[in-house]
Amino acid sequence: MVLLKNKIISLLSNKGFQRYAANSSWLMLERMVRLCTALIIGVWLARYLGPERFGLLSYAQSFVGIFACIASLGLDGILIRELVKDETKRDELIGTAFGLKVIASIIVIGMIFLISSSVNGFDENILILIIACTSFFPAFEVADCYFQSKSLVKYTVFSRFISVFIISILKIVFILNEASLESFAILVVFESFIFSIGLSYYYFKDRIYALGGEAKRKIFLFSKKTAINLLNDSWPLILAGAASAINMRADQIILGNFLSKDVLGNYSAAVKIAEVWLMIPTVLGISIYPALILAKENSEEYYKKRVIQIVKIMSLFALPVAILISISSNYIINILYGDEFTTAGKYLALYIWTGVPYLIFFVTNQVMLIENITKLSFYVALFSVCLNLILNFIFIPRYGGVGAIMTTFFASYLSVLLSIYLINKKTKFITLRI
């Protein structure tokens, strides 16, 4: 007992533990605020719009989401890894990543405009073209990467609080004044804009303070050599990110085309509730990512043990939550959305189980980044997207929303098994005795 007490005291007094605990606390607070606003304001918005218009808005966001992930270029995890490894290259890494993302954003927005104009109707096209403007803002998230590498995510949280607060107030005002659907699409863009402004403010404030008398020095430096190195590491993640976006959004796109927007509205309502709880366990993964990188540098055995422990914790957290939500799904939907969303309860009871492998998949992606085996991410994503598209086109016309959930279920579980197999083949994680 005395030995255990001493270990606990030693752990709590450790500066590294205190830093990561504070990081996790800030992230947890941010997720809780977003969770509450999603449940209150988001549900209010869905009830105001109704299944059909809510489905139309969800369709537009899903369509843009498929392309928007390309704008990030898969750089975030790599950028954090490099910032943790070599802080002296900070300004060059940040500036180069920012420049690359700006170029990618312009290309992506052009792609969305061209493709949407040729495949969608007028109502969908207007919303998509508005929301497509959000593709420009991932460039500013390099500041978030910097904060994560320094365990200073409180600045990201402050920026998110400001954007969520302002947008929540505006959504309430718009709902009370019966604003148009296009108005809420504009708010989606405005939220990204405010968040980016907040990140930029705190980044420059922190950097200028750190530079002190050298404040005139350039904070952003673009390097062609660094750009080539970053893209060389990230190109599999760009393709994997595109494939992942298709996996996450294809069901809603296909539902919106094969079936009515009313069905899509019910399906989207269930998906949003199912995705909300995933915010909480991912806090742990985001917060300790820099710590895992350092653990890898110092001790291979310690690093592998920590990864396996995180997978176990994620799994143990996911199962009881999935059971509880599945059992009470109809009650949850009726309380939150009302009688208009009649089939959303059935969708939620099934869809909640697709989130269990996602938590493990989240950890395996971090391992691939740390081990610099990002090509495996691409192989897994390619397998997943091919399986997802084939099954969606088979199941959705026959079974509707349930078919989309069946597809997501099979694709997600098989993909996480494949990723574990490939990682273990490279690193021998599972053979490690713990």
d(CA 246, CA 161): 29
d(CA 213, CA 204): 15
User: What would the two tokens of residue 307 be?
Assistant: 């990864």
Give yes or no for a contact between 376 and 298, defined as CB atoms under 8 angstroms apart. Answer: no
Give yes or no for a contact between 243 and 381, defined as CB atoms under 8 angstroms apart. Answer: yes
Rg (CA), the chain: 22
Give the per-residue pLDDT at 3: 41
Give the per-residue pLDDT at 333: 81
Angle between the 401-427 and 261-276 helix axes, to the nearest 10 degrees? Answer: 40
Evaluate the CA torsion angle 16, 18, 22, 27 in order and state its sign: positive
* Residues with pLDDT less than 50, the chain: 1-18, 213, 215-216, 432-434
Give the per-residue pLDDT at 14: 44
d(CA 224, CA 241): 23
User: What would the two tokens of residue 240 be?
Assistant: 């994997």
Give the per-residue pLDDT at 434: 41
Express each pLDDT in 250-294 by its tens digit.
677 777 666 666 777 787 778 777 777 666 656 665 656 666 766
User: What would the two tokens of residue 369 be?
Assistant: 């980044």
Give yes or no for a contact between 380 and 343, defined as CB atoms under 8 angstroms apart. Answer: no
d(CA 166, CA 179): 17
Task: Find where tokens 């490279």 sit.
Answer: 426
